[in-house]
């Protein structure tokens, strides 16, 4: 069964539209080249991955370099 996302794009049940490169890292929020359909499990895995990457970058921005 097909459904539509908020923008009217067709999708299969159980699929999630995902930004390949998050906006916070320069990904284009509207470009179709930055979108991919994923299963729910794939979506969970990539969300966890990007959350870890974001956390590492935020901590690095807050921590002064060693020796200062």
Total number of domains constituting the chain? 1
Whether 49 is in a domain gets the answer yes
Residue holding tokens 């320069």? 26
Q: What is the mean pLDDT of the chain?
A: 86
Please choose, from the candidates 29, 40, 35, 1, the residue with its C-alpha nearest in 3D space to the C-alpha of residue 17. Answer: 35
Q: What is the model's pTM?
A: 0.70
pLDDT at 5 (0 to 100): 59
For the chain, list residues with pLDDT below 70: 1-11, 66-68
Please choose, from the candidates 43, 25, 45, 21, the residue with its C-alpha nearest in 3D space to the C-alpha of residue 33. Answer: 21
Whether 14 is in a domain gets the answer yes
55: which 2 tokens? 């956390």
Whether 68 is in a domain gets the answer no
Pairing of strands 2-4, 10-12: antiparallel
pLDDT at 14 (0 to 100): 83
Whether 33 is in a domain gets the answer yes
Whether 67 is in a domain gets the answer no
* Residues of the domain holding 9: 2-62
Whether 26 is in a domain gets the answer yes
Whether 25 is in a domain gets the answer yes
pLDDT at 11 (0 to 100): 63
């Amino acid at each position: 069964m097909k459904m539509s996302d908020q923008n009217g794009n067709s999708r299969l049940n159980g699929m999630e539209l995902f930004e390949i490169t998050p906006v916070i890292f320069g990904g284009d929020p509207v470009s179709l080249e930055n979108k991919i359909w994923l299963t729910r499990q794939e979506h969970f895995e990539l969300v966890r991955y990007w959350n870890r990457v974001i956390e590492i970058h935020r901590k690095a921005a807050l921590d002064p370099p060693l020796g200062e």
